[in-house]
Structure 1
Amino acid sequence: MTDSNKRGASALARAGAHAAVGFIAALRFVPHPLLRALGNGLGALLWRVAGSRRRIVLRNLELCFPELDAAARERLGRAHVRMLARSLLDRSFAFSASAERLRQLVKIEHRERLPDDRPVILLSPHFVGLDAGAAVLSIDRDWCSVMSTQSNPVFDKAVRDGRLRFGHGLLLSRQEGLRAIVRAIRDLRAFYYLPDMDFGPRDSVFVPFMGVPAATITGLARLAQMTRAAVVPCVTRMTDDGYVVTLYPEWENFPGDLPPDDPAHARRMNAFIEERIREMPEQYYWVHRRFKTRPPGEPSLY
Structure 2
Amino acid sequence: MRQKLVIWLMKGLALLPLPVVQRLGVVLGWLYYRIPNREQATARINIGLCFPELSTQQREQLLRLNLQESAKSLLEMPGIWHGDADRMVAQLQLGDGAKLPQLALKQNRGVIIAAPHLGAWEVGVHYLATLAPATVLYRPPKEQAMESTIVSGRSKGGARLVPTTAAGVKALYEALHRNELVAILPDQQPRHVGRSAGVFAPFFGFPALTMVLVNRLAKKTGAVVIYTYVERLPDAQGYRMHFLAAPDRLDDPDPLVAATALNRGVEACVRRCPEQYQWSYRRFSVRPNGARSPYKG
Sort the TM-score into its range (normalised by shorter chain): 0.7 to 0.9
Distance 1:64 1:183, change over 3 A: same
Instruction: Tell me: CA distance 1:136–1:92, structure 2 relative to 1, closer, same or farther (3 Å).
Output: farther
1-structure distance, mates of 2:48, 2:249: 35
- After superposition, what is the alpha-carbon deviation per residue over 1:181-226, rounded to whole angstroms, capped at 9, x for unaligned? 2123223331111121322423322221111122212221211011
Q: TM-score, normalised by structure 1?
A: 0.85
Alignment check: 8 A CA contact 2:30 2:67 kept? yes
Deviates more, 1:142-151 or 1:292-301: 292-301
Query: Please, which moves more after superposition, 203-212 or 170-179?
Result: 170-179
Distance change (3 Å), C-alpha of 1:31 and 1:266:
same
Correspondences of 1:187-226 after superposition (within 5 Å): 187-199=178-190, 200-202=192-194, 203-226=197-220
- Alpha carbon RMSD of aligned pairs, Å? 2.3
Contact 2:120–2:230 (CA<8 Å) still a contact in 1? yes
- Equivalent position of 1:46 in the other structure: 32
Q: How many residues align?
A: 285
Say whether the 8 Å CA contact 1:99–1:139 is kept in structure 2.
no
Kindly provide the CA deviation profile for residues 72-120 of structure 1, in whole angstroms up to 9, marking residues without a partner as x: 2222112111101101111233213324311231223344321345311
| Structure 2 Cα separation of the partners of residues 125 and 233 of structure 1 | 8
**Counterpart Cα distance in 1 of 2:56 and 2:120:** 27
Question: So what's the TM-score if we normalise by structure 2?
Answer: 0.86
Which consecutive unaligned segments of at least 5 residues does structure 2 have? none
**SS of residue in 2 equivalent to 1:95:** helix
Structure 1 counterpart of 2:57, from 64, 71, 75: 71
User: Which structure 1 residue ranges, 4+ long, deviate > 4 Å from structure 2?
Assistant: 250-254
Please name the residue that 2:17 is paired with: 31
Task: Evaluate the alpha carbon distance shift between residue 169 and residue 90 of structure 1 in structure 2; reply closer, same or farther with a 3 A threshold.
Answer: same
CA apart distance, 1:284:
1.1
**2:135 alignment partner, SS class:** strand
Kept in 2: contact 1:172–1:180 (CA 8 A): no
1:146 is the counterpart of 2:137: yes
**For the residues of structure 1 that align with 2:165 and 2:35, how far apart are their CA atoms?**
32
Asked whether the 8 Å contact 1:172–1:181 carries over to 2, the reply is: no
Shift of 1:23: 2.7
* Secondary structure, aligned partner of 1:196: coil
Inter-CA distance 239–163: structure 2 relative to 1 (3 Å threshold): same
Contact 2:162–2:168 (CA under 8 A) maintained in structure 1? no
- Matched-pair identity in %: 27
Which of 224, 236, 248 is the aligned partner of 2:244? 248
Letter in 2 for 1:267: T
SS in 1 for 2:257: helix
Q: What stretches of structure 1 of length at least 5 have no aligned partner? A: 1-11
Note the C-alpha offset of 1:49: 4.2
- Cα distance in structure 2, aligned partners of 1:167 and 1:211: 38
Report the CA distance shift for 1:206/1:167 in structure 2 as closer, same or farther (over 3 A): closer
CA distance in 2, matches of 1:71, 1:249: 34
In the alignment, which residue of structure 1 is the partner of 2:77? Answer: 91
Give the one of 279, 286, 293 matched to 2:286.
293
Supply the AA of the counterpart residue of 2:133: D
Other structure's SS at 2:227 match: strand
Give the CA deviation at 1:250: 5.9
Is the Cα contact below 8 Å between 1:122 and 1:192 reproduced in 2?
Answer: yes
**Rg comparison, structure with higher value:** 1
Instruction: Check 1:254–1:210 CA distance in 2 against 1; reply closer, same or farther (3 A cut).
Output: closer
Q: Deviations over 1:19-39 (max 9, x none)?
A: 332332333332221211011
| Letter paired with 1:269 | L
- Distance in 1 (alpha carbons) for counterparts of 2:263 and 2:77: 27
* Alignment partner of 1:124 is 2:115: yes
Q: What's the secondary structure of 1:149's corresponding residue?
A: coil
Pair 1:106–1:71, CA change in 2 (3 A): same
Given residue 229 of structure 1, which amino acid in structure 2 is its aligned partner? A
